[in-house]
Amino acid sequence: SKSGGWGFESLQACTYRREVYMFAKLIKFLKEVKIEVSKVSYPSRKELWTSTGVVIVFSAILSLFIYIFDLLFSRALISVLR
């Protein structure tokens, strides 16, 4: 035939090899993830609560700041448009 080995059967072999290769890559990836996760240092409970408190306080201050500027700009815009 003119296909010269490009028929259905030869593509099956390539597909099988590709699946085995992808599975080997997945296994390698999972092993590397396990190694990296073992290197992670987690914060203590006290550090976690302190960081959480800082985030909450900063969020509250930023919210107040945005509210005040929004109020000022909206009143200025209303007075300009009247």
In this predicted structure, what is the pLDDT of residue 19? Answer: 77
Coil, strand or helix: which one is 50? helix
Instruction: Count Cβ atoms below 10 Å from residue 54 Cβ, excluding itself.
Output: 10
Distance CA 82, CA 67 (A): 23
Please give the pLDDT value at position 34: 95
What does pTM read for this prediction?
A: 0.53
Residue 18 is predicted with a pLDDT of 75
DSSP codes joined into one string, 4-72:
SS-SHHHHHHHHHHHHHHHHHHHHHHHHHHHHHHHT--PPPHHHHHHHHHHHHHHHHHHHHHHHHHHHH
Model confidence at 68, pLDDT cuts 50, 70, 90, reads very high
